[in-house]
Every structure is written in C-alpha cells, then in structure tokens.
Amino acid sequence: MSHSSDAPSAKTQVKRGRKRACYEPQRVRQIIDASLLCHVSQSIHGQPVVTPTCHWRDGDRLYWHGHAKARNVSDGRAVCINICQLNGLVLARSAFHHSVNYQSVTLFGTPELVSDREEKLYQLERFVDKVSPGRWSQLRPVTEQELMLTAIAWVPISEASVKMRDEPPIDDEADYNWPVWAGVLPLERTWGKAQADPRLRGSEWIEPVAPDSR
C-alpha cells in the first residue's frame, strides 16, 4: 500500500496513524463494496448523531436509504460516513502494541436526495441486487406509495480516506523474547444456512444468492 499523503482535502487528511492511511480511489471502492453496513454521522443542532445503515455504491457515489421522514436521509446537512470491518485481533507481547487488523473508509460530504422516479427505482434495484444478486427481478414490483415513502440519499465518493492494517504484531525489538504467544486471531464472517420464512408455501424453492459483501 502506498503511504501517500495526497489527501483530496485538509478535512480528509488522516490525523493519527498516517502510515496506515491511503487515498487510492480503487481501494476506497473495494472497502465500500466489501461491506453492507456504514455509519452516517450528522451534527443536528450541534449534537452529534450517528446512525448505522446499509449502503451501496454506483460509480463514484455512495447511496443509502431510509423512511422519507428519517433524519439520516436528509439533504444539505454535512455528513461523515465510516465503513469499517474488523478482520482480526493483533496480540502482541506488550499491551501497548496490541492492535486490530481492519479496513476502514471515512467519507465527508453533503448528501443530495434522489428525486427522479426512474433513478430511484434503478438505485433500489442496485441495492437489492447487492444484498442478493439477481433478486430484484423476482420480487413483487414496487408500488408508487412505497416509492414515495422511501428516500434515497447519496454523497460523492471524493473526500475519502482509507485506513487499514493487515499484518502480524509489531513489537518493541527487546520484547520479541518475552514468553507469550503472539500473532493474529482472525475474525471471519460467513453466510450461514438460509432460514426459510415459516410462512413460505411449497418446498421447491431456489434459495437466495448470498452477497460477496459482508
């Protein structure tokens, strides 16, 4: 990973742990796509509020949705969004050098709402097909009322930084003889066996396709 300091803006520049930071658009996109969940942070009358929600991506835009009246899908109010996955515990010889392996993207932006009906439908299709590839076309079609109740917000993926760690512990040289196991305990995320709705009728079903994202 290049340890570039060419942050797209002063705000985006990673403040702590710059060695683990990068600003490469391809890496940003990979980390966004690998994950289903993001955290949207807003300042509401000066009070920070952070909301977990699912996201998807289309080109250089990050999208999320919510009830049309929900606070986290409003336009014109600056947000900071983080997408982070914990990939392992890094167990060192000293408490101080304990760490975690992870991948994280932090985005700054001011959301806009999708107002065009066709664009809304298209983005919902992208979202459903991220969650379960190929599913959209099998569903009962969206109604006008459902569409009206659903707000979709997006920010450009431009002011984005990556932080990540993916390596063994890095101990003080003098500590490598300390008599304790050291290494990484990896955290794995897998899709379990699909659990059919108890109200599912019939038995000859094609089970859903699990997403690559976790």
2-10, 18-26, 111-119, 146-154 -> range binding its own copies (CB under 8 A) = 146-154
Which two tokens mark 69? 């009246």
Tell me, rounded to whole angstroms, the distance of Cα 30 from its chain centroid: 10
Contacts with its own copies in 156-175 (CB under 8 A)? 168-169, 171, 175
With CB under 8 A as the contact rule, the residue among 61, 89, 158, 165 that binds its own copies is 89
Task: Give the residue with the Cβ less far from its own copies, 112 or 171.
Answer: 171
Amino acid at 197: D
150 near its own copies, rule: CB under 8 A: yes
Per-residue HEC secondary structure of 108-138 comes to EECCEECCCHHHHHHHHHHHHHHHCCCCHHH
Contacts with its own copies in 13-32 (CB under 8 A)? 15-16
Q: How far is CA 66 from CA 45, 69, 88, 179, in A?
A: 21, 8, 31, 52
180 near its own copies, rule: CB under 8 A: yes
119 near its own copies, rule: CB under 8 A: no
Q: State the nearest-atom distance from the C-beta of 93 to its own copies, in Å.
A: 5
42 near its own copies, rule: CB under 8 A: yes
Task: Give the residue with the Cβ less far from its own copies, 30 or 94.
Answer: 94
Which residues, 6 or more positions from 152, have their beta carbon under 8 angstroms from its beta carbon? 63, 64, 65, 73, 113, 114, 120, 123, 124
